[in-house]
Amino acid sequence: MGELRGTHVPVLLERCLELLAPALETGDRPAVHVDATLGLGGHAEAVLAAFPTVTLVGLDRDEEALAHSRARLSRFADRIHLVHAVYDELPAVLDQLELSGVDTVLFDLGVSSLQLDAPDRGFSYARDTALDMRMDQGRGTTAEEVVNDYPPGDLVRVLREYGEERFATRIVSAIVRERGRRRITSSARLAELVETAIPAATRRTGGNPAKRTFQALRIEVNEELAVLRRALPAALDALRVGGRLVVMSYQSLEDRITKQTLAGRARSTAPLELPVELPGTGPTFRLLSRGAEQASEAEIAANPRAASVRLRAAEHIGQVAVTSVGTATQDKGGAARERPRPVRALHQPGAAAHGRSAPDGTAGRKRRRDRGRGTDEQGEGR
């Protein structure tokens, strides 16, 4: 396995343990915790140490990370199942382990410390490395192949959609000119091309001008957003009643998907005009965080990679039926119950405009675009 590569400081560790604890302290049976992005095992180790009866299911697509975590967690060998898998494969993993449900799931998204700090993985624009960027180096398309082989139109799409890069066309034009002369194989050369393509006035602010391009390529290579869109509903479906999900995102695209997915499970789907909450239409989750939580200034000072983290969490409450405005009771799927009017605030996205509680708990505040976009260089702390 060799010496551990990467500086490992788990992000928001104490807050994660605090959110997961109520679902892991089951008492009547051993709880099951899923670390869907195991990485170097920092969060997983803390969970296993804090909860002596918990069984861990750890997933990671990076075999090098799995090897390090297996060594790190060896003292818990009788309570761990570490699996080489992408997190949207969770249902298949649980089937193989004959687990019908789990109590908690943790996602710590983005590039891991090992991947970011290892010079041969190609994730960093701060050093000259080969353009790889695959989280699973045993399969998939590399960043070098994307940069050199994608048609210009597809490259522009990738940079705009996944990097939110407003100078995508200029950057792609520079890439196409360069690859017409010679193949682009190094991260340093790609970073130079990006820098020269961006106007000088823009380069003076906002950090390294290559950060959005590298983020976009990494997301494309690993299909991160498509995987996340499949993985979050699968994880929510796997939770037992009382189970909890915690998601840490490091850029706005991931956080937006997380927010929308959790909000969808935390509000009613019944038509507004109906006088009753129909069975199967009530919210099945409640949000545990008011908006997205961020790291404290003290944690950011100690661990700069926590600067861009956005945490959201939810608890599986089972099917509920609304009995009065602002209250709800457990309903195991029985008869429909009457609900007084008005009920817009309970399940209509437009409620926030009237000053009532919106589905994601923003209480009618003016929605602001989340400017906390993480970058590959900030990464996270798995």
Mean pLDDT of 355-382: 41
Cβ atoms of residues 297 and 236 within 8 Å? no
Considering only CA atoms, which of 18, 41, 20 is closest in space to residue 239? 20
pLDDT computed for residue 59 by the predictor? 97
User: For position 364, what pLDDT does the model report?
Assistant: 37
Torsional sign, CA 145, 151, 153, 154: negative
The answer, yes or no, to whether residue 22 has pLDDT greater than 80, is yes
| The pLDDT value given to residue 266 | 92
Q: What is the mean pLDDT of residues 371-381?
A: 44
pLDDT of residue 157: 97
pLDDT of residue 158: 97
Chain-centre distance for alpha carbon 309: 10
Model confidence at 120: pLDDT above 80: no
User: Residue 307: pLDDT above 50?
Assistant: yes
Tens-digit pLDDT profile for residues 166-204: 999 999 999 999 999 999 999 989 999 999 999 887 777
d(CA 232, CA 246): 10
Does residue 340 have a cis bond before it (omega within 30 degrees)?
Answer: no
Does 368 have pLDDT greater than 70? Answer: no
More confident residue, 354 or 104: 104
pLDDT digits (tens, 9 = 90+) for 235-282: 999 999 999 999 999 999 999 999 999 999 998 777 777 777 677 778
**List of residues 6+ apart from 278 with CB closer than 8 A:** 270, 336
**Helix/strand/coil (H/E/C) assignment for every residue in the chain:** CCCCCCCCCCCCHHHHHHHHHHHHCCCCCCCEEEECCCCCCHHHHHHHHHCCCCEEEEEECCHHHHHHHHHHCHHHHHHEEEEECCHHHHHHHHHHCCCCCEEEEEEECCCCHHHHHCCCCCCCCCCCCECCCCCCCCCCCCHHHHHHHCCHHHHHHHHHHHHCCCCHHHHHHHHHHHHHHCCCCEHHHHHHHHHHHCCHHHHCCCCCCCHHHHHHHHHHHHCHHHHHHHHHHHHHHHEEEEEEEEEEECCHHHHHHHHHHHHHHCCCCCCCCCCEECCCCCCCEEECCCCCECCCHHHHHHCHHHCCCEEEEEEECCCEEEEECCEEEECCCCCCEECCCCCHHHHCHHHHHHCCCCCCCCCCCCCCCCCCCCCCCCCCCC
Taking only the tens place, the pLDDT of each residue in 131-142 is 988 988 778 899
Which of 262, 259, 229 minimizes the C-alpha distance to 244?
A: 262
Q: Which of 14, 69, 17, 20 is nearest to 41 (CA)?
A: 69
Residue 372 pLDDT > 60:
no
Which of the four pLDDT bands, split at 50, 70 and 90, describes residue 208?
confident
Q: What is the dihedral of CA 137, 236, 299, 122, to 10 degrees?
A: 10
Residue 2 has pLDDT above 70, yes or no: no
Whether 338 shows a pLDDT value over 70: the answer reads no
pLDDT of residue 8: 67
Q: Specify the amino acid at residue 100.
A: S
Tokens of 8: 């490992």
pLDDT greater at residue 367 or residue 89? 89
